[in-house]
Amino acid sequence: MTNQGLNHQKLPLHVGIIMDGNRRWAKKNGLPVYLGHSRGAEVFKSLALYCNKIGLKYLTVYAFSTENWKRSAAEVSALMVLLKKYLNKVIKEFSSENMKMKFLGDVSAFSPDIQKLIQKIEKDSENNTGLQLNIAINYGSKSEILRATKILAGKVILKEIDINSIDDKIFSENLYTNGDPDVDLLIRTGGEKRISNFMLWQCAYAEFYFTDVLWPDFSEKSFNDAIEEYFSRTRRFGGA
């Protein structure tokens, strides 16, 4: 699948993706769950490279939520092994792609070796000018908003800022996505029609695109279909 026909001048600035369906894909294909997650990781890698190639500026993917810790110990353990393996692959395979990478969420919950890999990837890519790839891990939007609220409350108590000066801009500056534009298009795969605690603040005026395609089957064509649907929308941002 090529990007022929896409209007690059009208690409959304920021696309968010809830990558859902790995476990159902594995079950559908008679495979263990970890192979569904492994296939999903490969699809993610391919799509990130494609988005970089077509000139997308920001891509944020929901990789591991704060609620995912509730899954079975075996599945969480497999996900941690996959995460470490994936981060090592990123260091090797993305190093020449000019992509800037950021990790959104409380990474302190991960093992020291995973935290070290995250720090290395962010440091090594901080001056890159291609696609900014945000990976949300141990991320939940409610937790993010509470964190920002506590930070601002602390600044008010210390008299660093006046409470009346807090506006949308200042609040946004205290989110994990500080400096990034709000989401223009939110894609969710797997057939569910909810946003599952993902970027509630940043998606205030996002266009939503839901597809029944399970994440491991998501392709460049699937992404292009979502972009074409986005092109057809009229965005009013609350206006007439």
Positions marked catalytic: 20, 68
Q: Which helix (H) or strand (E) holds 101?
A: strand 100-104
Cβ-count burial 120-136 (b if 16+ within 10 Å, e if not): ebeeebeebebbbbbbb
Residue with tokens 């941690």: 80
Answer yes or no: are the C-beta atoms of 214 and 189 closer than 8 Å: yes
| Residues 6 or more apart whose Cβ sits within 8 Å of residue 167 | none
Residue with tokens 């890698």: 45
Answer yes or no: are the C-beta atoms of 206 and 184 closer than 8 Å: yes
CA distances from 149 to 35, 204, 232 (A): 39, 18, 36
